[in-house]
Amino acid sequence: MSAFADFITSNVDTIVDDFEAFARTAAPAAANWGAKDLRDHAKVVLQAVAADMETDQTARAQHLKATGNDVPDPFSRIKDTSRMHAKHRFEQGFTLPEMLSEYRALRASVIRRWSAQLQDPDQEDLVELTRFGEAIDEGLTESIGWYSRRLEESRNLLIGVLAHDMRSPLSAVRLSAEYLLRGDRLGDADVRVVTRIASSSARMAGYISDLLDFAQTLLGAGLNIVRAPVDLAALCQDVLEEAGAAHPAATLRLEAEARPSGHWDAARLSQMLSNLLAYAINHGAPDQPVVLRIAEARGAAQLSVHNHGEPIPAEQLPTLFRPLQQSSSDRLRRPGSSGMGLGLYIAREIATAHDGSIGVASDAASGTTFTVTLPLE
């Protein structure tokens, strides 16, 4: 029997006394819970650690733990207990640092009491102390993993719910502005103001749509794709006209080297191209055209959006399609952007959902070109 495990089992109540005193002062959330809620979880964690130390451990398992890797095990009492502990602390309102402090307090209390009762420490004591530390770390890692995943899911759900709830009032603003513009009751100054309201609300609607798609992909649902026959040339012409209306100062041009047709989601492709065009317009040289080109090669349709102007810095290319990765300087020179970098992320997700791909090439001489490849079959 492990002497260290026996020590934990025999002294679990006094160790938990130390832990409770610490939790009361270090974790504000603990003030709202009784002694039983605090003590029972700490006791269960310590009992799981003691049980783990009682089991035989192979040299490979010890090496994996020592290097911070997961041990292949169909069932681990420490992991199971740690997940349960994290779940309860999440429901009780503990923050992640507060939960981590519990493990630190348990570790410190056990080691302090264990060291105090040692008369003549030997190599075996060091081995057991090391295994205790590895067991605590295993539980800590599992708790952090569960808590972080749950926190991420809650955040993503909040984004989705917030964006969804914002759609209705924003739609009312936009429809009201469009109604006023259809009449002849407004003077020239009023028309300019209402037109600004309509265009701003339309841009905000685009941001909200991107937020909803962002939350949906992070929650693992993926983007909804409804395939139907699509004439890419006609679709690109419509998207280009809409972009021109939203950016009247921009020069936009369509070049159709081919007229491929296939089964795609027309609404999603329009959203993807609108995001790419908006990026090109916001980043491109104002005196140079933005070109949307259609081609066909090797059984796939190719859509490219090209702009001249300052190239994308090479260090930004690896993270360009990741959300929330835009630098502060990049946001400052993009007055027409939400600054969250969701446009390119959503464009990539749409291409991927069609079994396609998207890439970018950028240099000072040639400009910047985003190329989307969509399989025809």
Q: For residues 142 and 150, give the distance between their C-alpha atoms in angstroms, rounded to a whole number.
A: 12
pLDDT of residue 375: 93
pLDDT of residue 333: 45
pLDDT of residue 74: 46
Q: Which residue has 């819970």 as its token pair?
A: 33
Q: For residues 2 and 4, give the distance between their C-alpha atoms in angstroms, rounded to a whole number.
A: 5
Q: Which residues of the chain have pLDDT under 50?
A: 74-75, 327-336, 338
Percentage with pLDDT > 70 across the chain: 80
Q: Which amino acid is at 86?
A: A
pLDDT of residue 329: 44
| Closest by Cα among 273, 282, 262, 337 to 305 | 273
pLDDT of residue 331: 41
Map out the domains of the chain as residue ranges: 1-222, 228-375
Number of Cβ atoms within 10 Å of the Cβ of 147:
22
CB burial of 301-331 (b: ≥16 within 10 Å; e: otherwise) equals bbbbbbbbbebbeeeeeeebbebeebeeebe
pLDDT of residue 33: 60
- DSSP symbols for 264-281: E-HHHHHHHHHHHHHHHH
Q: Do the Cβ atoms of 346 and 360 come closer than 8 Å?
A: no
CB burial of residue 335 (10 Å; 0-12, 13-18, 19+)? exposed
Q: Look up residue 11 and give its two tokens.
A: 């002294």
State the Cα torsion 145-151-152-158 to the nearest 10°.
170
According to CATH, the topology of domain 228-375 is Heat Shock Protein 90 (3.30.565)
HSE-CB for 265 with a 13 A CA cutoff: 18
Q: Do the Cβ atoms of 170 and 208 come closer than 8 Å?
A: yes
Percentage with pLDDT > 90 across the chain: 23
pLDDT of residue 290: 96
pLDDT of residue 367: 94
HSE-CB for 175 with a 13 A CA cutoff: 6
Q: Is 303 helix (H, G, I), strand (E, B) or coil?
A: strand
